[in-house]
């Protein structure tokens, strides 16, 4: 067998012999796409396991740094959006190869094509389900979270297989002037440079026009993201309003906080307000990518649990007044429950919480996904 670098590219129909469809362009774009997918995958796992920790890990999730989840989920959505641009460019670069004739030239070729089909299909579905989740549109019959999570493994597995199959090509075209590749169209020309610059510019525009949803200094550039860090009741976005959650005036009229533990008790709102006051500057970081820091005031969860006679190291189950919905009940492990910054918040920016932000009381805890910052809290249970 000849050294792989001397082998001519496997498929080169004359009509597609330009530099924009060659292996060097595919490698150059593929590296960035691969990097985006890896960051997206790792941050996706972080998000998944913070929300659905295996039972053995639930008590040792880190409550620091307070901005950890904000950063990781900002990266998840940012790299996911960049991956959409890169995926389109990559598909455009390689599409002549996807339509070669004959479609199958043997078992090995058939398997390779099948693996590429799985890679393309899963990657496209993964980034578009993610995008539609950001705009909260679910035009499909399956559950978003399970599908997005399962597909992530298919995508990452297919990428690894693809890297293994294409390793010789990637190696030969990794740098502009690989030794021994003179007969391959490896030299950069203005057309390839223009394509790569164009792709970079498109990613720059997409990123700059959305990253302000979580990177507050750039919030003025946030033109495309569906939520803006400043826009919403009390200057903070809202995903689920009180009306959407079915929080009625009647339900709030006889609200009281029930705390269940070795010494159970309940408190009216006035009694709760009379307890030692604590405050914290903490971000809300939504899984959909927006995040914003705010000043919260209320009562420490640790104080409420201690008063119920909770043993040290106890976890907590929180129940909302909301009648349905996936976020009505939430559990938090020891490290969050004990943290002095974890509050049952009654105030936002020094004012009483508005209905949409969880009046009369909501959870705010450091380094946690927004979905776990339960609003309209009515019951705490020591676990
Ligand atoms: N009870 C309840 N709490 C909830 C939700 C919900 O649907 N129900 N949504 C969560 C989500 S997805 C986020 S991002 C935060 C947003 O808080 P905010 O609306 O005060 O900004 O609240 C969380 N708390
Ligand atoms: Mo959220």
> Which token pair is 348?
């936002």
Phi, then psi, of 322 in degrees rounded to 5: -55, 140
Alpha carbon distance 279, 340 (integer Å)? 9
What residue has token string 């309940």?
266
Q: How many CB atoms lie within 10 A of CB 147?
A: 14
* CA-proximal residue: ligand 1, atom 21 (nearest): 238
* CA-proximal residue: ligand 1, atom 20 (nearest): 357
- Provide the pLDDT for residue 14: 46
How, if at all, do strands 377-382 and 257-260 pair? parallel
Q: How many CB atoms lie within 10 A of CB 6?
A: 11
Per-residue pLDDT of the chain (383 residues; tens, 9 = 90+): 445 555 555 555 445 667 888 899 999 999 999 999 999 999 999 999 999 999 999 999 999 999 999 999 999 999 999 999 999 999 999 998 888 889 899 999 999 999 999 999 999 999 999 999 999 999 999 999 999 999 999 999 999 999 999 999 999 998 876 555 554 444 556 788 899 999 999 999 999 999 999 999 999 999 999 989 889 999 999 999 999 999 999 989 989 999 999 999 999 999 999 999 999 999 999 999 999 999 999 999 999 999 999 999 999 999 999 988 899 999 999 999 999 999 999 999 999 999 999 999 999 999 999 999 999 999 999 99
Contact present, 369 and 356 (Cβ < 8 Å): no
The C-alpha torsion from 154 through 155 and 156 to 161, rounded to 10°, is 80
Q: How far does residue 61's CA lie from ligand 1's centre (Å)? A: 20
Choice from 371, 378, 379 to test ligand 1 binding pocket (greatest atom count within 8 A of CB): 371
Q: How far does residue 172's CA lie from ligand 2's centre (Å)? A: 44
Contact present, 133 and 144 (Cβ < 8 Å): yes
Q: Does the C-beta of 373 come closer than 6 Å to ligand 1?
A: yes
Give the number of whichever ligand sits closest to the CA of residue 359. 1
- Provide the pLDDT for residue 203: 98
- Provide the pLDDT for residue 7: 59
* CA-proximal residue: ligand 1, atom 10 (nearest): 371
Q: How far does residue 326's CA lie from ligand 2's centre (Å)? A: 11
- Domain ranges in the chain? 23-208, 234-382
* CA-proximal residue: ligand 1, atom 4 (nearest): 374
The per-residue b/e assignment along 286-313, b for 16 or more CB within 10 angstroms, e otherwise, is bbbbbbbbbebbbbbbbebbbebebeee
Contact present, 307 and 263 (Cβ < 8 Å): yes
Q: How far does residue 238's CA lie from ligand 2's centre (Å)? A: 8
Q: What fold does the segment set 234-382 form as a domain? A: Sulfite Oxidase; Chain A, domain 2 (3.90.420)
Q: Does the C-beta of 370 come closer than 6 Å to ligand 1?
A: yes
Q: Does the C-beta of 245 come closer than 6 Å to ligand 1?
A: yes
* CA-proximal residue: ligand 1, atom 24 (nearest): 374
Q: What is the pTM of this model?
A: 0.92
Q: How far does residue 288's CA lie from ligand 2's centre (Å)? A: 6
């Amino acid at each position: 067998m000849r050294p792989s670098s001397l082998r001519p590219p496997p498929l080169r129909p004359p009509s597609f012999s330009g530099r924009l469809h060659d292996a060097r362009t595919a490698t150059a774009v593929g590296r960035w796409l691969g990097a985006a997918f890896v960051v997206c995958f790792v941050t996706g796992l972080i998000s998944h396991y913070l929300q659905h920790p295996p039972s053995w890990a639930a008590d040792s999730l880190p409550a620091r740094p307070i901005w950890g989840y904000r950063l990781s989920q900002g990266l998840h959505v940012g790299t996911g959006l960049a991956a959409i641009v890169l995926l389109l460019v990559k598909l455009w670069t390689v599409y002549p190869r996807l339509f070669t004739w004959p479609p199958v030239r043997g078992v090995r070729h058939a398997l390779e094509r099948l693996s590429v089909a799985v890679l393309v299909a899963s990657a496209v579905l993964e980034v578009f389900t993610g995008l539609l989740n950001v705009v909260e549109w679910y035009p499909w019959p399956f559950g978003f979270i399970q599908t997005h999570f399962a597909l992530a493994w298919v995508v990452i597995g297919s990428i690894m297989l693809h890297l293994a199959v294409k390793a010789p090509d990637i190696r030969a075209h990794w740098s502009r002037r690989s030794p021994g590749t003179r007969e391959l169209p490896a030299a950069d020309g203005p057309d390839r440079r223009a394509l790569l610059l164009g792709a970079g510019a498109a990613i720059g525009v997409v990123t700059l026009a959305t990253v302000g949803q979580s990177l507050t200094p750039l919030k003025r550039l946030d033109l495309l993201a569906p939520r803006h860090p400043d826009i919403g009741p009390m200057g903070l976005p809202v995903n689920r309003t009180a009306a959407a959650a079915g929080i009625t005036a009647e339900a709030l009229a006889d609200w009281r906080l029930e705390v269940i533990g070795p010494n159970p008790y309940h408190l009216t709102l006035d009694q709760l307000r009379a307890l030692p006051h604590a405050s914290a500057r903490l971000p809300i970081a939504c899984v959909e990518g927006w995040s914003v820091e705010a000043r919260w005031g209320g009562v420490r969860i640790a104080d409420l649990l201690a008063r119920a006679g909770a043993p040290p190291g106890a976890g907590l189950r929180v129940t909302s007044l909301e009648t349905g919905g996936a976020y009505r009940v939430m559990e938090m492990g020891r490290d969050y429950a004990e943290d002095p910054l974890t509050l049952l918040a009654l105030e936002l920016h020094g004012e009483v919480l508005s209905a949409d932000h969880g009046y009369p009381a909501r959870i705010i805890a450091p380094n946690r996904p927004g979905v776990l910052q339960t609003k309209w809290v009515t019951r705490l249970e020591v676990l």
